[in-house]
Each structure stands twice: as C-alpha cells, then as structure tokens.
Amino acid sequence: MSPMTVLVTGGAGFIGSHTCVELLEHGHEVVVVDDHSNSAPEALERVAKIAGRPVTAYRADLRDRSALDAVFKAHPVDAVIHFAAKKAVGESVEIPVTYYDINVGGTTALLSAMQAHGVHRLVFSSSCSIYGDATKVPLTETDPAAPTNPYASTKWICEQLLADMCRRLPELSVLALRYFNPVGAHPCGLLGEDPRGIPNNIMPYLAQVAVGRRERLSVFGDDYPTPDGTGVRDYIHVMDVAEGHRCALEHLDDEKGMRVFNLGTGVGSSVLDLVNAFARACGRPVPYEVTGRRAGDVAELVADPRAVAAAWGWTAKRDLGVMCRDAWRFQELNPSGYAAG
C-alpha cells in the first residue's frame, strides 16, 4: 500500500513507541502527539535510532484544541492511531472524573479536530477490560461488555461513541482493537515498558524484582478458580500488538464504518506460569509471596483471536518465553528505565 502520514497520539508510550517503529520501518510517516504525562521524550529518540529516521513530535494535551489544529494544519494526516489515555485500573477508581475527562474528553476533542480537517480514518486503542468479569473464555468480540471499573468504562464509552459517529458519518472508517495484556519489549533492548513509580502491571514489576530494584513480587491471590489458583491472562508481545496496528492501518479502507477486533494470542498463562517463564529468561529465581486478591481483579481473561485472523490473516507470533526474554533484556540494559538517558 502507499505510505501514509499517521498521527499517533500517545506515541511516546509503551505500545505507541513500538508501533511508531513498526510504521516507520514500513515506510509510513509518523507524527506524534504526546503530553509526556506518563512517557519519556527519550523513548522517541530511541524510536528514531531504531528506525533510522527522525520522528516528528509535539508535546500537547489532546484536549487543547488549538494545539491539535496546528498539528493537523502542519501535516497532511491520512489516518490517526489513538493511544493517548490514562490506563491504571486502581487509579481510575480513585479519580474517575479525571479518567472520563482525559480518556473520553481526549477522544471527543480528537474526533472533532479530525472532522474539521477532513480526516476519516481512525484506529482506536481499546481494552479487554471492557469484558469485565468474564463468565466464559475465550472471549469473542460479540460477548457482552460489562466494565467493572472507570478505566474500562471509559474505553467502552469511547467504543460506543465511535460506533455512533460511524452511523452518522458514513465517510468514517474506525477500527477498535481490544488488547489483552501487552508485555515484552523491542528485541534490540532500547525500547520497552518504563512506568513511572511503582509498577501496577505484573511484567514491569517482575523485571524490577529480577534486577534488584524491588524485593519480591506479591502474587495477588491463589484462590481463583483457575488451574493453579492464580489469575490467568492472555499476555501478548508488544511487537505483535505493534504489527497488529500496522495491519489495521492497511485494512482501514476495506470497509467504512466501525469494526472491533480482539488482539490476543488465545493462550492463557497464570501468574505463576509468568513467574516461572521470567525466571528461566533471566536465569535466576524471582522471589514472590502470595498475598490477598487485588480489588477489581478478575479470574481469567483470554482472547478468541480468530476474527482478526480471518479478516487480515494476522496472528500473534511470539510466545511467553520471547515476551519474558525481551522484557528482561530491556530491564537489564536500562536498569533505571529511560531515566539514565
């Protein structure tokens, strides 16, 4: 397909930065808008280094309409990939209004700027968390949404508002991708997940334990109705997620309107499976202790990934061992994340 100019919101973040590399390596132009509230500008330097091409980037909040207008005026944007959002489930329970404001308000501001500048193609970053406490696995795209926290609700509201926009504006093509649990890092070790403060998510926490930054992992509950009692998730390598976005971009014009796909592997792994796989990857035991359940956690979330495979021939290629190997390489080479520069 012919190269596109792609506006990537949240392009300096974990999934955004890996997607930028993938797009640049396939000849697309990338324009990043990121407010760096949970990302380092250094990530974009590294994207440029890996791809061997400069990255155009703006520091802006999506709700700043004049900043957004200036970006659309300066670049012939063909499509938008919208990652920018807040994503900590626990925090969303503490400050729900902020989550609605940033995640939903950011999306409506972006949509109105896209309309004003005649941009009709969008890939939206959704989440498996919209399925809530699933009563069955694997989950297909037609299973009901039942968000259990404000973060998940913001993603579900955005999906609904996008579907509504598509019904009313027939020129729009929107793809919402529901990611399961993205982990891992670019295999070169320059790009990875570098959360601010104490990690909420298990993979960066495990990596920080293995490198000696934290004492031990707390395993949140071993009394779930799962084979070993710990929570089961569908971990997916961030490079697979990045490739999924490039594929999505290339299939945006297949149809007008709104389409929704799961991005997962279809393989469920427990917390203890992940601890063991990580210990093998880093060649040392990773200390852990079982503590109580974390509020809001669900027992098991696994994708049925067949719909996207049937539509585009896309499937995730990397297994749990590769996810751990790459997450560990990034942690080992960047023990303090991007902070050391």
Could you list the residues that contact ligand UD1 (CB under 6 A)?
87-89, 127-129, 152, 181, 200-202, 205, 217-220, 231, 233, 271, 294, 297-298, 301
Give the residue from 283, 294, 288, 264 showing the smallest Cα distance to 321: 283
Question: Which of 173/230 has CB closer to ligand UD1?
Answer: 230
Is 131 an annotated catalytic residue? no
The Cα-based distances of 188 to 27, 271, 320 in angstroms read: 20, 26, 17
How many other CB atoms are there within 10 angstroms of residue 38's CB atom? 19
Shortest distance in whole angstroms from residue 218 CB to ligand UD1: 5
Question: Which of 205/338 has CB closer to ligand UD1?
Answer: 205
Q: Is the CB of residue 66 less than 8 Å from the CB of residue 42?
A: no
Shortest distance in whole angstroms from residue 130 CB to ligand UD1: 8
Residue 8 token pair: 């990537």
Q: Catalytic one among 99, 151, 224, 338?
A: 151
Shortest distance in whole angstroms from residue 271 CB to ligand UD1: 5
For 112, half-sphere exposure in the C-beta direction (CA atoms, 13 angstrom radius) is 11
Give the residue from 196, 216, 200 showing the smallest Cα distance to 88: 200
CA terminus-to-terminus distance, the chain: 36
Question: Which of 278/338 has CB closer to ligand UD1?
Answer: 278
Shortest distance in whole angstroms from residue 132 CB to ligand UD1: 8
Question: Which of 8/88 has CB closer to ligand UD1?
Answer: 88
Catalytic residue positions, numbered: 151
